[in-house]
Amino acid sequence: MLIDTLKWYSWIPTNLGVLDYNFITPKQMYSNFGKNIKFSEDKTRFWNLDLKNFKDSLSPYITTSHIKEISPTGTISFEILDSSLKGRVSIYYADTFSIGFNYSLERNGKIRIDSPYLGKSNQIKDIDTALMDTFAQIAYMMIKQSLHGDSHHHQKIDYVLKVSRDIFPADIIINTFAKHIKNVERDIKSLDTCIGHLKAMNAIEEIRGYLSYVNTFFALYKEELSQESKVIVENMKKCSHFFGIYCG
């Protein structure tokens, strides 16, 4: 596998259509990742992170059992430019494996993650495309969580998007949002108790969060969407106007 030719693309959600790079502050990073991080700043903002939340994603690839219990750590850097942001994400798994990605991020949320740099890998099973996809997804989540956070609405909303190899996945992003809206709507219909009604209210707020992202994404990338995706978006807009949920 020629890992030096791999690239991944995705979108970091933004309701306003423009990311606020000033969001990257010590206070917000502590809120997003916990207190167990280190911070330094010169021209580039640089962080050391505890990635224990990603341990389960990596464990299947580790060959030595005791290492599976060790939480990975990572570093992330940001250099803010006039109209974009660039930096590097690195992931370390004890003394057995390290991998790094350069990335670039546009103000409108479009992100590109470049081919990885591999370090130690003596305790890793075969390094294949699936493994690289896993690490690229973790890198994306690190960047997204740093820039976007999750405290302002239902956390699951921001964890549905995936990275895609080689192309910016405009149609996939719309279909991913639509799929999750339908799943939440299905859950709402099954709730018929008092506690269920409370859960339904939370679920409706979750759907509104999805719909807000869909509207922003559509406004930004309408020309990159297929006709089928445009129809999906229009159906969601019509239903949200009357019900606040997707009823396609």
Neighbouring C-beta atoms of residue 129, cutoff 10 Å? 11
Q: What is the DSSP string of 144-189?
A: HHHHT-STTS-GGGGG----EESS--HHHHHHHHHHHHHHHHHHHH
Mean pLDDT of the chain: 76
Q: Mark which of 147, 180, 207 sits at the end of a domain.
A: 147
* Residue located via tokens 């949320």: 109
Residue closest to 99 by CA, chosen among 73, 78, 67, 71 = 73
For 190-232, write each residue's pLDDT tens digit. 666 555 666 666 677 777 888 888 999 999 999 999 999 999 9
Cα angle value 59/117/34 (rounded, 5°) = 55
Identify whether residues 126 and 175 lie together within a single domain: no
**141 and 25 housed in the same domain:** yes
DSSP conformation letters of the chain: --GGG--EEEE---SSSS--GGG--HHHHHHHH-S--EEEESSSEEEEEE-GGGHHHHGGGBSSGGGGGSPPEEEEEEEE-SSEEEEEEEEEETTTEEEEEEEEEETTSEEEEPPPEEEEETTB----HHHHHHHHHHHHHHHHHHHT-STTS-GGGGG----EESS--HHHHHHHHHHHHHHHHHHHHT--SHHHHHHHHHHHHHHHHHHHHHHHHHHHHGGGS-HHHHHHHHHHHHHHHHHSS---
| pLDDT tens digits, one per residue of 146-161 | 876 544 445 455 567 8
> Tens of pLDDT along 52-62?
666 666 666 55
Asked whether the beta carbons of 126 and 95 are under 8 A apart, the reply is: no
What count of Cα atoms within 13 Å lies in the side-chain half-sphere of residue 118? 14
Task: Compute the average pLDDT of residues 69-95.
Answer: 82
129 and 205 within one domain: no
Q: 125 and 28 share a domain?
A: yes
The enclosing domain of 41 has a CATH number of: 3.30.530
Number of structural domains found in the chain: 2
**One domain, residues 229 and 116:** no
Q: Which residue range forms the structural domain that includes residue 229?
A: 169-243
Query: pLDDT at residue 247 above 60?
Result: no
Last residue of a domain, one of 147, 182, 206: 147
Phi, psi of 127 (to 5 degrees): -85, 105
Is-above-0.85 flag for pTM? no
One-letter amino acid at 132 equals M
User: Which tops the pLDDT comparison, 222 or 238?
Assistant: 222
Residue carrying the six token digits 């306003």: 16
Q: What are the beta bridge partners of residue 11?
A: 110
**Do both 73 and 129 map to the same domain?**
yes
Whether 248 is in a domain gets the answer no
Which residue from 75, 176, 93 is spatially nearest to 131, judged by alpha carbons?
93
| Sign of the CA dihedral running 78, 79, 84, 89 | negative
Point out the domain boundary residue: 116, 147, 178: 147
Alpha-carbon distance of 81 to 52, in angstroms, equals: 31
Asked whether residue 113 carries a pLDDT value surpassing 90, the answer given is yes
Is the Cβ–Cβ distance between 157 and 210 less than 8 Å? yes
Assigned token pair, 168: 């910016």
